């Protein structure tokens, strides 16, 4: 699909905003580390157990938090050894979690390979188009004071309605797949030049693919525009890692991905309870 007028943007009609509404929840930090094996092996058994005990204690406390927790995964492949995911109410709390990890004795044996900062985001395309049209029908001018007041009231309503999805527990699944992604901005293949009605339709089609995997995969989308190098982060949680391949492959065929998706590196991890941290560090 290419840019053009839709029923949502008829010539001569009041132009509705191009950006859909979104509501945000937990701030999220992904930390990936490589173990400095040579330095780690040089530490005697007593020292290794001391270091692991301290780290397991802190990670256990973080995992038991009621309002924003942390989880640890054993990372597969050459991109790293350990993946830690933090959900917190605020970015200040994320910073405290990051510093707490950095202050562990274990951090002296870890080399950060990458990280990702984002916030749980629910883009409400379908509701946005209908809501914008209702405000125009009432004679409100986009971005006016009255418009802004109505938008804030609608966002407050959506935050209450979607609270469970905005502030979830980290899913108790054995495997995680994380990857960042963008929407293309290349010549005619520019997602941001498409009318909002077309983008709504494409995202509806995209979402239908994901719904077919309900029960097999838990998906958490995070927004990272202004926070990190990509526009979104995607976490997929499942008990069978093969389902990640099937889901991502099938999604490649819908227009939102085939025509406009750009994907970053993929990271795969296996859930490790804090009390089992020694299993990935001590032979």
Q: What is the DSSP letter of 245?
A: H
Taking a C-beta distance cutoff of 8 angstroms, is the pair 125, 20 a contact? yes
Half-sphere exposure of 245 (CA within 13 A, CB side): 3
Distance, CA of 244 to CA of 258 (rounded, Å)? 17
Return the structure tokens found at 110.
């870890």
Taking a C-beta distance cutoff of 8 angstroms, is the pair 126, 204 a contact? yes
Distance, CA of 179 to CA of 161 (rounded, Å)? 27
Q: Give the active site residues.
A: 179
Distance, CA of 265 to CA of 246 (rounded, Å)? 17
Distance, CA of 6 to CA of 2 (rounded, Å)? 11
Q: How far is CA 249 from CA 44, 233, 260, 269, in A?
A: 46, 17, 15, 19
Return the structure tokens found at 125.
């395309």
Ranges of H-type helices in the chain? 37-42, 45-63, 91-102, 125-137, 145-161, 163-166, 196-211, 242-251, 255-258
């Amino acid at each position: 699909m290419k840019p053009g007028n839709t029923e949502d943007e008829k010539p001569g009609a009041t132009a509705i905003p191009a950006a859909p509404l979104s509501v945000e929840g937990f701030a999220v930090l992904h930390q990936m580390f490589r173990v400095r094996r040579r330095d780690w092996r040089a530490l005697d058994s007593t020292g290794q157990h001391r270091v692991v005990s301290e780290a397991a204690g802190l990670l256990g406390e973080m995992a038991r938090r009621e309002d924003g927790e942390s989880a640890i995964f054993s990372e597969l492949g050459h991109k790293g050894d350990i993946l830690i995911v933090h959900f917190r109410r605020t970015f200040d709390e994320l910073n405290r979690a990051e510093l707490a990890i950095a202050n562990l004795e274990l951090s002296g044996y870890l080399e950060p390979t990458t990280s990702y900062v984002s916030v749980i985001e629910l883009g409400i395309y379908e509701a946005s188009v209908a809501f914008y049209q209702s405000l125009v029908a009432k004679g409100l001018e986009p971005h006016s004071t009255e418009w802004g007041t109505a938008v804030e009231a609608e966002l407050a309503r959506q935050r209450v309605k979607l609270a469970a999805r905005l502030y979830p527990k980290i899913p108790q699944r054995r495997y995680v797949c994380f990857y960042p992604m963008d929407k293309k901005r290349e010549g005619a293949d520019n997602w941001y030049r498409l009318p909002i009605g077309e983008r709504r339709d494409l995202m509806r089609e995209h979402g239908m693919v994901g719904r077919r995997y309900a029960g097999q995969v838990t998906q958490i989308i995070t927004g990272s525009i202004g926070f990190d190098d990509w526009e979104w982060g995607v976490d997929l949680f499942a008990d069978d890692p093969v389902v990640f391949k099937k889901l991502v492959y099938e999604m490649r065929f819908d227009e939102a991905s085939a025509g406009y998706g750009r994907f970053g590196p993929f990271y795969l991890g296996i859930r490790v309870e804090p009390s089992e941290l020694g299993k990935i560090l001590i032979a």
